[in-house]
Homo-oligomer: A and B are copies of this chain.
Amino acid sequence: MTNIKKVSELAGVSTATVSRTLKSPGLVTEKTRDKVMKAVKEAGYRPNWLATSVKTGKSNSIVVLVPNLVNPFFMRIIEGIEQAAQERGYSVLLGDTQGKSQRENEYASMVLTNRADGLIQLDHSFPFSDNDAELAETIPMVSVCERIANRKYPFIELDNYAASRALAHHLISYGHSRFGIIAGQIESQIYRDRLAGIKSVLHEEGIAFDDSMLVGGSYRIETGVEGARQLAGREQPPTAVICFNDDIAIGALHEFKRLGLTVPGDISVTGFDNVRVSAYMDPPLTTIDQPAYEMGRRAFEVLLQMISRQPLNRTREILPFTLVERQSSGPAKS
């Protein structure tokens, strides 16, 4: 281990001078700077980041909690977080929770032990254990996409209510009146907002919605397959199905076609997220584009403000969506 002492001896200066040369070169003479830099090179010295951090009390790391890594939508958000973090000299500790609270607890506790300075949660749950809950009151935490249940942490999310309203209007304008919904995770604000948005439009338009047309319960492709099978099996199948993410829509699309239905001829299918492959489905998916990358960036910016103890000008950011109309939605079968 080549440490600052060795370098100072090699350069014939004090350790403080070495430290200064590296952190604030302006404070030392050019002559000593050269001496020190030469010694640094010669010794192959790199400052021990752990020691620096223990002094300053800051880890310059954040934890990102994500329910799973295989959802490209999450990854796009993390890409934004990571990019923003890197620009500000922070690094990202990845916490794949698999939705398990025990894993959430373990990762969340890293903020309590100075291993990380803050936390971004992509799920809707409060990630700390009951034991840690009170300690966690004041720690910097932000949620993105979701909002943390029953807690007052800042969040960045899509205008899910408006987005699902737009989707409903889009489909109604095509003449649809029998709707099916394949939802994702049920216990979440997203679920409530999207459902409320759809229902509000249907209500305004005087269209009835039968709750048995609401199926699903997770954001997986298989949920789409299963949901499609259930909906198609009804005596009066829907003519339009709103899926709560693109994976579900991909599964549903596949299953409807397998059952001999045409999309959008017999049935329209829409998604959420606009993941890359959705444009290459057959037919290409009508979906809601979320500015995932930007949401990730914003989440980090807000978190950084909390870490720096700067006041937040606003505690919630609702980002705009874009309805991407492709060929999986079309006129209702007459």
Q: Which A residues have a C-beta under 8 Å from some C-beta of B?
A: 1, 44, 46-51, 53-54, 57, 59, 61, 64, 68-70, 72, 75-76, 78-79, 82-83, 86, 91-96, 103, 106, 109-110, 112-115, 134-135, 221, 247, 250-251, 253-254, 257, 276-277, 280-282
Do B79 and A69 touch (CB < 8 A)?
yes
Do A69 and B61 touch (CB < 8 A)?
no
**Copies of the protein in its oligomer:** 2
- Give complex CA distance A112, B1 in Å: 10
Do B103 and A86 touch (CB < 8 A)?
yes
Q: State whether A94 and B96 are in contact (beta carbons under 8 Å apart), knowing that A54-B51, A59-B50, A113-B48 are contacts in the complex.
A: no
Q: How far is the CB of A254 from chain B (nearest CB, A)?
A: 4
Q: Determine the chain B residues whose CB is within 8 A of the CB of A276 once the complex forms.
A: 70, 221
Q: State whether A46 and B93 are in contact (beta carbons under 8 Å apart), knowing that A70-B79, A280-B254 are contacts in the complex.
A: no
Q: Determine the chain B residues whose CB is within 8 A of the CB of A46 once the complex forms.
A: 109, 112-113, 135
Q: Determine the chain B residues whose CB is within 8 A of the CB of A277 once the complex forms.
A: 221, 247, 250, 277
Do B44 and A48 touch (CB < 8 A)?
no
Q: Determine the chain B residues whose CB is within 8 A of the CB of A78 once the complex forms.
A: 69, 94, 96
Q: Determine the chain B residues whose CB is within 8 A of the CB of A114 once the complex forms.
A: 48-51
Cβ 8 A contact of A61, one of B48, B57, B93, B280: B93
Q: Determine the chain B residues whose CB is within 8 A of the CB of A134 once the complex forms.
A: 44
